[in-house]
Amino acid sequence: MMKIEVWRGQKTLRFLYFRYKDSSYFYLFNLSICILVSLILIFQVVTPQLQNWFSIRDEEAATLQKIKILRENISFMSELNKDLLEKNRRLANLALPVEKDFGVIIDAVTMAAAKSGVSIDDFSFNLGLVSSISGEIKIESKSDDSTMTKLSLYLNGDVDKIKNFITQIGEKLPISQIELVDIISDDVYISLLFYSKPYEKPLILEDKPINPLSAENNNVFSKLSRWDDGNSSDENQVVNPSLTVPLF
């Protein structure tokens, strides 16, 4: 019985084939089958291969770009002036110390006072806090990991000397910021802010070029260098004992 059904099926297919093989329906049927098979091959085989090829090409281009940037960075660092680099590092460290240095602060204040001719009453110094009649130091932490040292001074001197002191302290390292100037009785109260900040971890990315200092940053270092040279000249000067300012 099963053989008879198979034979009938084959006969039916043969009959349909010979009946429609020369018709447009048979052509459209074959064309549809070919298109369907082609689409399956394109989406299942060709498209993944193309995606893989483009991915490999993108990775190759990115790797070549990283190699190019690394070579440029190596060339840039090898051509750096080591002496100038060390000088700029030293200037930056003097202007913004990596840690609190109260001695440097007192030296800057003393030098500015001596050169301007003002006097500082009864100034005493202790780590973290100066508890005296004329000055106190307070430590405050900022959110950007820098530390602020607030120095309050009571100065004796006329207006021109006070203005000269403000000019002198503003042109000495470390960098200071005047927070407040006020007149209290016969003295002038000045609040100075000094900052310190630890070194940041250098961030050198393999796909990012190292850029040289901008013109603005170079101008900053030039100004710091002039202030440093001025401080060095002041330190090398022989000061007349009669012009020194008593701090204690």
pTM: 0.59
Separation CA 109–CA 100 (nearest Å): 15
User: In this predicted model, what pLDDT tens digit does every residue of 105-154 receive, in sequence order?
Assistant: 888 888 999 999 998 875 544 344 443 434 444 444 454 567 788 888 88
Superfamily of domain 91-198+216-243: Ribosomal protein S6/Translation elongation factor EF1B (3.30.70.60)
pLDDT digits (tens, 9 = 90+) for 30-45: 788 888 888 888 788 8
**What's the pLDDT at 75?**
92
Following CA atoms 110, 113, 116, 120 in sequence, which dihedral angle do they give, to the nearest 10 degrees?
-160
Structure tokens at 158: 């006329």
pLDDT score, position 177: 86
CA dist 231 and 5 (Å) reads 113
State the CB neighbour count (10 A cutoff) for residue 105: 20
Buried b (16+ CB within 10 A) or exposed e, 222-233: eebeebbebbee
